[in-house]
Amino acid sequence: MERYQEIERTIIKNYRGRLWAPFIKALKEYELIKPNDRVCVCISGGKDSMLMAKLFQELKRHSDFEFEVKFLVMNPGYNEYNLDYIKNNLELLQIPATIIDTNIFEVANAQEKSPCYLCAKMRRGALYKLASDLGCNKIALGHHYDDVIETTLMNMLNAGSFQTMLPKLHSDNNEGMELIRPLYLIREKDIKAWAKYNDLHFIMCACRFTEACSVDNEINLSRRLTTKKLIEELKKNYNENVEKNIFAAASNINMDMILGFKKDGVKHSFLETYDEEEK
């Protein structure tokens, strides 16, 4: 077999229970793909999105209904080294992706305040437009299980809000466009294990702040790394099931025991029905 075929085989054979099975479970449980969908699989160049692309290729071969897949690399302004790294991996893995260049890094990094926030916002906007231009009605992003629990905990600790990363959501500004997260039930450690098993190496976020540690380097100055470490400490010293419990909490909210909530932008308090319950 060709090298890319050997890598594809490991997804179905060696890592079937850890990658393929949770991928299919997420698609079915959250109804992420339906017949005649046109899915834009967004590839950043990292391990998560590259695996997602391979999973979609495998799904396309075995699906019992018709749907289309477009592979997109939106280049926000990677340096030549990182862009070549992505191109080499696309060729190695035989992923037929369209690469579209933008100047997002240049614009975002010219801002003194919140360049990362602006970069993320611009990248998301560009993805919606490019996906629409490709005739797609869904955008697939490579967020995984660990991203979900870390985001949930970060919102609680940093924003004082309980909100999670949903497996899918409708676009507010792009009618008919939906964002989906097919890796929602896949653990990051299993993605890393698959990459290591196949001796695959991918870039990290490669803007001017991180490109010095772009390839397979765990250096990250964001709060997300701090959150990862906090979760590991909680597992060791408090409860080994803390990750599962954080994930489960988002679907086990007891509305009778919360001070308030927000629905459709409107805040509600437990006091609204408190006296009625006594009667």
Confidence of residue 276 (pLDDT cuts 50, 70, 90): confident
pLDDT of 81 strictly over 60? yes
On the question of pLDDT at 54 being above 70, the answer is yes
Q: Domain tally for the chain?
A: 1
**Whole-structure pTM value:** 0.91
- Please indicate, yes or no, if residue 240 is contained in any of the structural domains: no
Q: Tell me, yes or no, whether 174 lies in a domain.
A: yes
pLDDT at 157: 92
Query: 101: which residues sit within 8 A by CB, 6+ positions away?
Result: 75, 77
Q: How far is it, in rounded angstroms, from Cα 279 to Cα 275? A: 7
Q: Looking at 58-185, which runs of residues are DSSP E strands?
A: 68-75, 98-101, 138-140, 168-170, 178-180
Stretch 224-239: mean pLDDT, rounded?
92
245, part of any domain: no
pLDDT confidence of residue 217: 46
Instruction: Give the residue, 105 or 180, on which the prediction is more confident.
Output: 180
List C-alpha distances in Å: 133 to 119, 127, 202. 21, 10, 27
Question: How high is the pLDDT of residue 213?
Answer: 41
In a domain, 231, yes or no: no
39: domain CATH number is 3.40.50.620
pLDDT given for residue 223 in this prediction: 79
Q: Which domain holds residue 55?
A: 3-218
CA proximity to 36, closest of 135, 132, 184, 131: 135
Three-state secondary-structure class, residue 1: coil
- For CA atoms 123, 20, 230, 166, the dihedral sign is positive
Residue 266 counted as domain residue: no
Residues recorded for the chain: 279
The mean pLDDT value for 117-143 works out to 93
What pLDDT does residue 130 have? 95
Position 220 scores a pLDDT of 44
Residue 277 lies in a domain: no
State pLDDT tens for residues 9-52: 999 999 999 999 999 999 999 999 999 999 999 999 999 999 99
Closest CA to 154 of 145, 164, 144: 164
